[in-house]
Amino acid sequence: MDYKHDVQKWLLLLLLSAEAAFHSLQYIITATTPGIDFPEYIVVGLVDEEQFVYYDSNIKKMIPKTEWMQKNVREDYWTSETQKQDRVQEIFKANLAILMKRFDQTDGVHTLLRRSGYNLDKNGSVTGYFQFNYDGEEFLILDLKTLTWTAAHQKALGTKLKWEAAGDPHFRKHYLDNDCVDYLRKYVEYGNSTLGRKVSPEASLFQKDSSSPVVCHATGFFPKAVMISWQKDGEDLHKDVELRETLPNQDGTFQKRSVLTVSPEELNRHNYTCIIQHSSLEEEVVLLVSDLSGDGGLSAFVHTWLFCSSCSLFWLEFSFG
């Protein structure tokens, strides 16, 4: 028995059943060196994994990405947030230059990313996080229990010591403990009718040819948590399976795929099935590989729409130097 995968499966099922029991707010800030056809500074805000605000250095404006933000927030909010991002952008730009110098880099494309946010539990408790990545690798991670920064790279040690001496972790924790819940609850109240929605996935199996991997694909679902698993002759299968990352669609829903790689002989010899579980479904979707059509595709369209009830987290960042 594969206990590790059984535990993982149980945890995901628990997450699916508790999907509506909590809410989350996250901001992702990315600063990129100039010279490429891409904004040098981007801010994306997400409530319950749905993008609700956006800013970049090309448009130079903070804008709403949902109808509920556009309807409920006054114009002075957008003016204030735009001015704030104009200032923060300069700090990220300076920090990116500091890191390039620290890594002895004079050219090339480099990125500084900050993920920050918090989750609100059904009992009202808040857990927050702050993390910086440089060129795709972890750089600094805030430990809110010890109120210290973890230097994930040796070259982050100087920044860690400087920020801790300045009391930065305490400021961030104070913000999370006092202001965040009100912001998150406000946004959830604004977008309750859409954030609490449940949209069923459109599921399909496809295979390019008989010797190609079989892909099980789910798309158009909301909320984000979904489980895609495989069975071989009725038994859970973990070998020869690659589960891909969950990706956003342009309409605010999500998609995910899982790839099964076995020989044509194995496919003919055994019964393989793909199983999709989502909080919007009363029953799991089961797709049989043996039912793949001659053109390499099999789809199961699930059109059940279910509706249930369901901070601006921008710090004036310290310099990395």
pLDDT at 182: 77
- Tally the domains of the chain: 2
Q: Distance of alpha carbon 291 from its chain centroid, rounded?
A: 33
Q: Does residue 10 fall inside a structural domain?
A: no
Rg (alpha carbons) of the chain, rounded to whole number: 23
Same domain, 23 and 74: yes
Same domain, 171 and 239: no
Q: Does residue 26 fall inside a structural domain?
A: yes
Domain of 212, CATH number, reads 2.60.40.10
Same domain, 166 and 253: no
- Structural domain boundaries enclosing 125: 16-194
Q: Does residue 315 fall inside a structural domain?
A: no
- The pair of structure tokens assigned to 318 is 């310290």
Q: Which tens digits make up the pLDDT trace of 255-294?
A: 999 999 999 999 999 999 999 999 899 999 999 998 875 5
Q: Are 17 and 305 in contact (CB under 8 A)?
A: no
Same domain, 153 and 219: no
CA distance 8 to 278: 16
Q: Are 312 and 81 in contact (CB under 8 A)?
A: yes
Q: Which residue has the tokens 């089961």?
A: 286
Residue 84 pLDDT > 70: yes
Domain of 153, CATH number, reads 3.30.500.10
Which has the minimum average pLDDT: 15-24, 52-61, 230-239?
A: 15-24
Same domain, 161 and 189: yes
Q: Does residue 234 fall inside a structural domain?
A: yes
- The pair of structure tokens assigned to 186 is 């406000």
CA distance 214 to 228: 13
Q: Does residue 213 fall inside a structural domain?
A: yes
CA distance 31 to 155: 19
Q: Does residue 208 fall inside a structural domain?
A: yes
| Among 160, 194, 228, residue at a domain's last position | 194
Supply the mean pLDDT for the chain: 84
pLDDT at 297: 52
The pLDDT confidence band at residue 22, using thresholds 50, 70 and 90, is confident
Q: Are 4 and 12 in contact (CB under 8 A)?
A: no
Same domain, 32 and 95: yes
Same domain, 146 and 269: no
pTM over 0.75: no
Same domain, 252 and 150: no
Packing angle, helices 157-165 and 168-178, rounded to 10: 70
Which has the minimum average pLDDT: 17-31, 162-176, 185-199?
A: 17-31
